Structures are given as C-alpha cells and as structure tokens.
Amino acid sequence: MLQQTTVQAVGAYYVKFLKAWPNVASLADAPLDDVLTAWAGLGYYARARNLHAAAKVVANELGGRFPNSYEALRALPGIGDYTAGALAAIAFDLPRAAMDANAERVIARLFAIGEPLPKSKPTMRAALQELVPRKRAGDFAQGLMDLGSLICTPKKPSCGRCPWSDGCEARKRGIQEELPVKAAKMLRPLKRGAAFVARDQSGAVLLVRRPEKGLLGGMMQPPLGPWDEDLPSVKEARLQAPFRADWKKRGGVVRHGFTHFELEIEVYVADVTTVSPRISERGKWVRDLSAVALPTVMKKILQHALS
C-alpha cells in the first residue's frame, strides 16, 4: 500500500484491510472484487491485484509460508527489487539492500553518483549492497530509510546531524542538494472522451467491467467511449454510446490526473426501461454503488452524472 502512497493516505485502508483479511489464507480465499472494493481510492490498482495473486501463490503453492530468500520473494507477483530486498532484510534478516527513494537519495549523495535516475539505480543498488551488514540487516534497512526521510532530506539536509557526514562525497563537494539527479519530466498528454451513465426505473446504474490487464484492470465503470485528443461532438458521442437511448449531455467536464496522462470526460445520462441483452451480459445494474470496486475517476463521473 505504501508504494507511491503516503502513510497518511494508507493508514485507514491498512486497518480495514487487516480486519477483513487478517492472514494470507483469508486474503487468498477472498474474491478479487472484494479486494478491489476495499482498495478503491488508493489508486495503482495493479498493487491490489498483485497482492491478491501473491497471497494465492503463498497459500496454495507454498503451504502458507512466505519464501525466505530474496530470489523466491522476487518471484512473487508484484514483488520488485526494492520490496524483495526490504522483505528479505526486515522479515528474515538477510543481508540484502532495500533501496527506496530515501535510500536512493542517501546513497547518491554519499558516493556523489551524478548519473540521472532511473539509469543510476543499478549503480546505487550495488553501492548500497556493499554497505549492508551481515547481521541486523533489517535494522540497517529501516535506519537508512529514516536517515533519508528525517536527515538527508531532499532540500536543506541536516548534514551536521548525519552519522555519515564525514564520508559524504556530495557534502565535500557542496553538491548535496543537487543529488540525486532526476531525468527531466515528460509533459503528460491530455486525453478526452465521453462516459455514459444509464439508470433504470429503480435508479440502478449500468456498470461494466474493464479488461483484467491494463489501466484500472478489473475495475467497474460506466460505459466509456474511446479516449482521443479531442472531445467527441454530441453526434459522435451518441454513436459511441453502448445502446440507443435519449442521451443528454451534462454541463461541465470531469477532470482526472493519471501518472502518465491527464483525462477530461464529458458525461451523458439516460433513463432507460430496456437494454440490449449484449450489454446485460457484459455489465450489471447496480443500486448500491458503494458495494462495488470503483476507481476515483469513475466515482467522479458518477457523481457528476447523478448529482
């Protein structure tokens, strides 16, 4: 949960998650829809799908016991170099490097590594691995993370309080605030499209499931048109709609930012009494929208449509 997300944002989700699934077996047995619903609002939903998949591997293939080597941890779904290193060091006290963003900053400054991220990651990881002690590797990993978050901060680092200050190459050269060097951010393109919110006579809303792979995989949404550079005209949008109806465009635009692009959506609403069997097979009519896994952007669209 803490990957790309702050402790403040995660706290309440973490408590709720552990209450629902207190061990790996219960998580493995849980329907993916329930896991995604509990995750809704945290974003980066691939993490939830990978966590669920990893729980299934541990519970069903490994006898309920987590692997205790870096290589085996790295093989679990969703486990990358950093997470595998952190688990190996903190959970099993193995001498493995755990390189999070804070550790990257410390190592880049300690060794004055000027190559921009992310290309410098292998160099940093190798340099950190040389420092990992044979014993108490977990304490070292957590201490290094705290050093980066509390002392070796991105701006105005407290070098006078740092235990590695004397050996820090960046401080010797007076370039500590210039490191680590990050690659220039690319401008996020703007995508636009239309969403179609249909309600039946009972007030239930038609939702369809996104493909399992890709952006917001496996999550529920109202039917959407394609995303392009321009918003579709009303005529074009009605041709994109999932079925023929008296689609009426709501005023305004729903905006949402993803990691790699910005999105603008116009919303069309229709009250219907019948719907084609093809749509019924792909989707479902939902009265209680809080009971399904809805990403934040889809919640925005529905709120705009139904307010």
Instruction: Looking at the structure, tell me whether residues 158 and 199 fall in a common domain.
Output: no
Is there a single domain that holds both residue 210 and residue 284?
A: yes
Looking at the structure, do residues 19 and 139 belong to the same domain, yes or no?
yes
Cα 238 to Cα 251: distance, rounded to the nearest angstrom: 16
Range of the domain at 25: 7-178
In a domain, 214, yes or no: yes
Q: How confident is the model at residue 190 (pLDDT cuts 50, 70, 90)?
A: very high
Structure tokens at 277: 């069997």
Give yes or no for a contact between 275 and 206, defined as CB atoms under 8 angstroms apart: yes
* Co-location of 151 and 95 in the same domain: yes
Our CA angle for 11, 15, 20, nearest 5°, is 145
The pLDDT score that the predictor gives to residue 186 is 80
Looking at residue 44, what is its pLDDT? Answer: 85
CATH, residue 35 = 1.10.340.30
On whether residue 222 sits in a domain, the answer given is yes
- Could you give the CA distance from residue 50 to residue 136 in angstroms, rounded to a whole number? 29
Check which CATH number belongs to the domain holding 260 and give it.
3.90.79.10
Please identify, among 114, 145, 178, the residue that sits at the C-terminal boundary of a domain.
178
pLDDT mean over 79-90: 94
Check residue 68 and give its pLDDT.
92
Are 161 and 263 contained in the same domain?
no
| Overall domain count for the chain | 2
Q: Which two tokens stand for residue 46?
A: 């691939």
- 201 and 252 share a domain? yes
Angle among Cα 187, 191, 195 to the nearest 5 degrees reads 155
Helix axis angle for 81-92 and 137-146, nearest 10°, is: 120
* Residue 41 DSSP SS3: coil
Which residues on neighbouring strands pair with residue 207, listed in sequence order? 284
Together in a domain, 169 and 197 = no
Residue 1 lies in a domain: no
- Give the single-character DSSP code of 255: E
- Per-residue pLDDT of 224-266, as tens digits, reads 999 999 999 999 999 999 999 999 999 999 999 998 899 999 9
Residue 189 DSSP label: P
Under a CB-based contact definition with an 8 Å cutoff, are residues 272 and 202 in contact? Answer: no
Please identify which residue in the block is written with the tokens 């974003």. 43
| Domain annotation covers residue 185 | no
Q: Residue 49, by phi and psi: left (phi above 0), alpha (psi -120 to 50) or beta?
A: alpha
* Domain identity same for 173 and 109: yes
Q: What average pLDDT does this structure show over 130-147? A: 96
> Residues 147, 229: one domain?
no
User: Number of H helices and number of E strands within the chain?
Assistant: 13, 7
Choose one of 146, 178, 210: the last residue of a domain. Answer: 178
Nearest to 100 by CA among 5, 172, 174: 5
Q: Is residue 250 part of a domain?
A: yes
Residue 91 token pair: 């959970």
Position 212 confidence tier, pLDDT thresholds 50, 70, 90: confident
Instruction: Region of 93 please: left (phi>0), alpha (psi -120 to 50) or beta.
Output: left
What would the pLDDT profile of 17-53 be if each residue is shown by its tens digit?
Answer: 999 999 999 999 999 989 988 998 888 888 999 999 9
Residues 132 and 152 in one domain: yes
Whether residues 172 and 198 fall in one domain: no
